[in-house]
Amino acid sequence: MTRVLLVPGVSAPLPEHWMARWSRERPDCRPVRHPPNEDYDLHERVTALDAAVAATDEPAVLVGHSAGCITVAAWAAEHDRPVSSALLVTPPDLDRWALPRTGPRIGMPRQRLPFPGILVASRTDELMSFARAVVCARDWGCELVDAGAVGHLNTAAGFGPWPAGETLLARLVSAAQA
């Protein structure tokens, strides 16, 4: 079974959020735990992700939401442990917005990911315009998926279940097992 590591944003997802549902309902999905400090400290988050990836030699599929996408991109720039791919969902534009509860301002990572990725973008995300998401997908070397008008693709935007995301994840897991 392919390991899927779920990398949350600034806060842990609410119980009805698609990421929390996947963690509960899918045996292949494991959340990357927040460090004890609830503030978003990029170094702490990258360290926690590295520990989760290092837990086995089997390549993982990473799934990041919001600031979790930034964690994945920053981790990929610093580490070379085995990862087969990433699903990055509605990252925030850190060139325009600061993450809440952070230390020093974090700039938007621009380095190309060393593994295949899919970036899911919204036409109505308050944290990143679709045009900026196109640039981000290009910088990271990701396939861009236009999710339409889905806000930040979180519980506040009505996502609990996210069947389209499950389809994308199944595609990445299938490729990892091939």
pLDDT tens per residue across span 38-77: 678 888 899 999 999 999 888 999 999 999 999 999 999 9
Secondary structure element (H or E) that encloses residue 164, with its range = helix 163-177
Residue 162 has pLDDT above 90, yes or no: yes
Instruction: Report residue 103's pLDDT band, with 50, 70 and 90 as the boundaries.
Output: low
Most distant pair of Cα atoms in the chain: their distance: 41
Pairing, β 3-7 against β 29-31: parallel
This prediction has a pTM of: 0.94
Contact in structure between 53 and 92 (CB atoms under 8 Å): no
pLDDT tens per residue across span 104-151: 567 789 999 999 999 999 999 999 999 999 999 999 999 999 999 999
Strand partners, 5: 30, 62
> CA quadruple 140, 145, 146, 149: dihedral positive or negative?
negative
Amino acid in the structure at residue 41: D
